[in-house]
Structures are given as C-alpha cells and as structure tokens.
Amino acid sequence: MFVSPLLPAPVRLDPLTGVMTPATGHYRKRMEDLAGVYSDREAFSALLAHSPHEVVYEVYEHRAVERAGDLIFGTSILYPGKVGREYNMTRGHIHRVSDRTEIYYCLKGRGVLLLESREGKVSTLEMAQGSVSYVPPHLIHRSVNISGELLVTLFCYPADAGQDYGIVEASHGMGVLVVDDGFGGWTTMSNPRYILRHE
C-alpha cells in the first residue's frame, strides 16, 4: 500500500517479517542482481544457474523528501544463505554525503554490520534482536546475515545522505569477508580480491 509520504499517517511494522505498511518504496535484490558482490565466483555462478530469481534481500522505505533535516527510515530483510563460505549480505555503500550517519535496530535474527573506513580499516558489530548499531560518519557499511533465519533491521538515516555503491565495487568488495567458520559460527577472512583505495 502506497500513500503520499507528506501526509502524516501511522506506519505499521511487522518485526517478524519486516513488512512495513504503508511504504513509499520497496525493492528486492535477487541473485541475478548481485554479480561481482561475492568473492567465490564459482559458487555464485552455480547458484545463479540454479536459482537466478532467488531473493537475497529486500527493503521497505519511508522517504518523504530528500532534504537536510528530514529522515528516511525503513526495514531491511536479509534472507539466510551462503555463497560458498560467505554469508548472504547487502551490496554495501558509503553515504554520498559521507558524514551522514545511520542506525540499525535489529528486530529479528542475527547478523554482522561490517564497517570500513576509506583507508581500509575494518570493524564488525554483531547484531541480534534488540541491538542498536550506530554507523559513525565516513564509514562504508554492509549487513551480513549469519543465522539460518531472516535478519530484519529497522534503519534510519538523514534524508540528504544518498548512497554511493561504486566505492565498494571499485575496491572489489570490502577488506574482509564474513564467512562460516565451519563450527556453526562466523569469522572474518581477508578478501583476496580487495584493492585498497588511493585517495
């Protein structure tokens, strides 16, 4: 259901599914949309051949205007799964106005928020139901689902932030991969394809 975002209206959010009603926008990213995102190209090709339309994540958003002072909020729903050893994740971006920040409130599931500076310094924040994760200014960020269920988060960021996905594509991903440790947990390993940025 879509309504004019400038008319005040109550928004309902189902924490189990992440469905937000009304929303001003909704999109799905499927396996076929994510070429080049995962490190294990062979595993990706096999998944793509078998199930190209499989949904990896979807987003509902409430976006009224893109002016400073306003907020954009919504839900991110990241499906469970792996490509090779690498857990399902979002493409990752830095805000186009890079000092703009963001918070993620985890409603369901378990995940990792992967953060990286332009200089390549990486940090990880574990997300679990009830956790609030803050993305400081100037950091690239990406969500990873490390569980066998949906990872549902509520996000909120300044309306004039924008997103730059090219910074992640240009460096062939982020500095580390979040992978299955083989013992039912997760760990990070360095990204063999990574190209350090030169500013």
Closest contact distance (angstroms) between CB of 178 and Ni ion is 17
Q: Where are the alpha helices (DSSP H) in the chain?
A: 41-50, 166-170
* Binding test (CB under 5 A) with Ni ion, winner from 73, 87, 102, 152: 102
Closest contact distance (angstroms) between CB of 47 and Ni ion is 26
Closest contact distance (angstroms) between CB of 21 and Ni ion is 22
Task: Give the binding range for Ni ion (CB under 5 A) out of 35-43, 77-85, 102-110, 119-127.
Answer: 102-110
Burial class of residue 183 in the structure, from the number of CB atoms within 10 Å of its CB (0-12 exposed, 13-18 middle, 19+ buried): exposed
Note if the bond before 22 is cis, omega within 30 degrees: yes
Among residue numbers 160 through 189, which ones bind Ni ion (CB under 5 A)?
none
Place of tokens 């259901």: 1
Cα(21)–Cα(27) distance, integer angstroms: 14
Burial class of residue 180 in the structure, from the number of CB atoms within 10 Å of its CB (0-12 exposed, 13-18 middle, 19+ buried): middle
Closest contact distance (angstroms) between CB of 61 and Ni ion is 11
User: Count residues contacting Ni ion (CB under 5 A)?
Assistant: 1
Task: Give the binding range for Ni ion (CB under 5 A) out of 26-34, 43-51, 97-105, 114-122.
Answer: 97-105
CB nearer Ni ion, residue 102 or residue 116 = 102
For residues 113 and 145, is the Cβ–Cβ distance under 8 A? no
CB nearer Ni ion, residue 46 or residue 71 = 71
Closest contact distance (angstroms) between CB of 93 and Ni ion is 6
Nearest-5° angle of CA 69, CA 153, CA 53?
110
CB nearer Ni ion, residue 44 or residue 111 = 111
86 binds Ni ion (CB under 5 A): no
Closest contact distance (angstroms) between CB of 163 and Ni ion is 6
Cα(152)–Cα(104) distance, integer angstroms: 10
CB nearer Ni ion, residue 64 or residue 159 = 159
Burial class of residue 135 in the structure, from the number of CB atoms within 10 Å of its CB (0-12 exposed, 13-18 middle, 19+ buried): buried
Q: Which positions touch Ni ion (CB under 5 A)?
A: 102
